[in-house]
Amino acid sequence: MDSEADRVLATARQLVPGIQATFGRICEVVLHDFRRGDHSVVAIAGDVTHREVGSPMSAIGLSLLRQGETAEDKLNYVTRLPDGRVMKSTTMLLRLADGTVTGALCINLDVTQLRMSSMLLNEVIGGNGEAAEPQPVTFGSDAETVIESVLAEVEGQLGKPLTHLATAEWLSVFKTLDERGVFQLRRAVPMLAGRLGISRASVYNYIGRLRDETPAGG
């Protein structure tokens, strides 16, 4: 515990059980150490996403990690888990004195029953407002699950399997994967190569082309 990052994370760790206890069983609080990459979860209280210490961050977290010092806290966003439950979350970034992002403290609330009650009450009192459709998100205990969830999302957007893409479409796909922070995971290249049916050299080639297209300082 001698580095500034360790001290910041140690302070945040003390908040995890208290926040979770305040909201009860519908709440999960997760502490991420961004230095740990594929195993970023270093403390967790509650069981909304069924993760444990050593699990990776979601695609949302990876996207924030990719943004580096320009990333901003993501507050009160709503997502839908693969099993249909709806979750309201807040992700607060942890920074060093120089602005470097070193981790994140995340609060996840399972609001499925609350939303159902709200919709029923709204119907009874004659309201016609509709809640925004939650963004699908997958939380996994390993990097493969997180990457697969992003690939499934991209396939859904394209309307066809990634293995059936034309050559001209690959760069756009890799740009989306990069924006979602997939390449922050250390094992991303071999996993993508196997899943997409291309060589590791091809994956590195597309990543290199993306970097070449990024303006200096951008």
CA atoms within 13 A on the CB side of 209: 13
pLDDT at 218 over 70: no
In the structure, what pLDDT confidence band is assigned to residue 164 with cuts at 50, 70 and 90?
confident
Structure token digits, residue 150: 């992003």
Q: Is the pLDDT of residue 160 over 90?
A: no
Q: Which two tokens stand for residue 158?
A: 């394209």
The mean pLDDT value for 191-211 works out to 84
Cβ-Cβ contacts under 8 Å for 87 (sequence gap 6 or more): 48, 49, 78, 79, 80, 81, 108, 109, 110, 111, 112, 134, 137
Paired strand residues for 168 = none
Stretch 155-167: mean pLDDT, rounded? Answer: 77
pLDDT, tens digit (0-9, with 9 covering 90-100), for 108-127: 999 988 877 777 777 777 66
Paired with 29 in beta bridges are 45, 107
Burial 161-180 (b: 16+ CB within 10 A, else e): ebeeeeeeebeebbebbbeb
Helix axes 188-196, 143-158, angle to 10 degrees: 40
Fill in the amino acid letter for 158: L
Nearest-angstrom CA–CA distance, 107 and 88: 8
Q: How confident is the model at residue 169 (pLDDT cuts 50, 70, 90)?
A: confident
Residue 157 has pLDDT above 50, yes or no: yes
For residue 105, name the pLDDT band (cuts at 50, 70, 90): very high
Q: DSSP secondary-structure letter at 185?
A: S
Mean pLDDT of 38-48: 94
32/107 Cα distance (integer angstroms): 11
Q: Which helix (H) or strand (E) holds 150?
A: helix 143-158
In angstroms, rounded to a whole number, what is the distance separating the alpha carbons of residues 207 and 136?
26
Residue 88 has pLDDT above 90, yes or no: yes
Can you say whether the dihedral through the CA atoms of 100, 104, 105, 106 is positive or negative? positive
How large is the average pLDDT for residues 186-197? 83
Q: Give pLDDT, residue 214.
A: 60
Q: 23-32, 44-53, 199-208 — which is least confidently predicted?
A: 199-208
> Could you say which DSSP state residue 164 is in?
G
Residue 126's pLDDT is: 66
User: What is the structure's pLDDT at 16?
Assistant: 97
